[in-house]
Amino acid sequence: MTWEEIKTAYPNKWVGLSQVEWKDEANVKSAIVSYAGDSSKEPFLKQVAGEDMYTTYTGTDEMCPLGCLTVMP
């Protein structure tokens, strides 16, 4: 699936992507969705266990999987 198709199929979800093809260093061109859900826990645990998976959020809100820092103006 393309990144646009993934965002449409799984809005505001955490997704675990495999076989990722990159547009550039930071942008997904296409991938296979191996996980989709409301929590980042499962795909991160799979990554820690050695599964080749990239985890990201499909929503427009900024999400911080490892904790957020307050940005001061």
Does residue 23 or residue 69 have the better pLDDT? 23
Measured CA to CA, the distance from residue 35 to residue 43 in angstroms comes to 7
What is the pLDDT confidence band of residue 71, given thresholds at 50, 70 and 90?
very low
Query: Could you tell me which residues are beta bridge partners of residue 2?
Result: 30
Measured CA to CA, the distance from residue 5 to residue 45 in angstroms comes to 25
Measured CA to CA, the distance from residue 70 to residue 43 in angstroms comes to 25
Q: What is the pTM of this model?
A: 0.76
> Over the Cα atoms of the chain, what is R_g?
13
Asked whether the beta carbons of 65 and 39 are under 8 A apart, the reply is no
What is the pLDDT confidence band of residue 61, given thresholds at 50, 70 and 90?
low
Quick: pLDDT tens for 19-44.
Answer: 999 998 888 999 999 999 998 899 88
